[in-house]
Amino acid sequence: MFADNLMSDFLSRHRLPGGFRDMAERYYLPLAERLTEIHKGGHPLLIGVNGAQGTGKSTLADFLRVATESMSNWNVAVLSIDDFYLTRAQRKVLASDVHPLLMTRGVPGTHDTEMLADYMDGLQKLGSNDQLKIPRFDKATDNRADRSRWTTVVGPIDLIILEGWCVGSKAQPDAELEKPLNPLERDDDPEGTWRNYVNDQLKSNYEEIFERLEYLIYINAPDFDSVLRWRLKQEKKLAEISASRSAGLMTGDQIVRFMQFYERITRANQTTIPEYANIIFDLDDTHLIVSSSQSEQYAKNSGIIQ
Residue 209 sits in a domain whose CATH number is 3.40.50.300
Domain membership of residue 92 (yes or no) is yes
pLDDT the model gives residue 247:
54
Domain membership of residue 29 (yes or no) is yes
Residue 166, sorted as left (phi over 0), alpha (psi -120 to 50) or beta, turns out to be alpha
In this prediction, the residues of the chain whose per-residue pLDDT falls under 70 are 1, 237-248, 296-306
Domain assignment of residue 231, given as a range: 4-300
Domain membership of residue 306 (yes or no) is no
Domain count, the chain: 1
Domain membership of residue 62 (yes or no) is yes
Q: Residue 156: is the preceding peptide bond cis (ω within 30°)?
A: yes
What are 8-29's pLDDT values in tens digits? 999 999 988 888 999 999 999 9
| b/e 182-206 (16+ beta carbons within 10 angstroms → b) | bebbeeebeebebbbbbbbbbeebb
Cβ atoms of residues 159 and 72 within 8 Å: no
What are 224-253's pLDDT values in tens digits? 999 998 888 777 766 665 554 445 677 888
Domain membership of residue 145 (yes or no) is yes
The 3-class SS string of the chain reads CCCHHHHHHHHHHCCCCCHHHHHHHHHHHHHHHHHHHHCCCCCCEEEEEEECCCCCHHHHHHHHHHHHHHHHCCCEEEEEHHHHECCHHHHHHHHHHCCHHHHCCCCCCCECHHHHHHHHHHHHHCCCCCEEEECCEECCCCEECCHHHCEEEECCCCEEEEECCCCCCCCCCHHHHCCCCCHHHHHHCCCCHHHHHHHHHHHHHHHHHHCCCCEEEEEECCCHHHHHHHHHHHHHHHHHHCCCHHHCCCCHHHHHHHHHHHHHHHHHHHHHHHHCCCEEEEECCCCCEEEEECCHHHHHCCCCCC
Domain membership of residue 213 (yes or no) is yes
Domain membership of residue 72 (yes or no) is yes
pTM: 0.92
What distance in Å separates the CA atoms of residue 116 and residue 85, rounded to the nearest whole number? 9
Domain membership of residue 305 (yes or no) is no
Cβ atoms of residues 120 and 204 within 8 Å: no
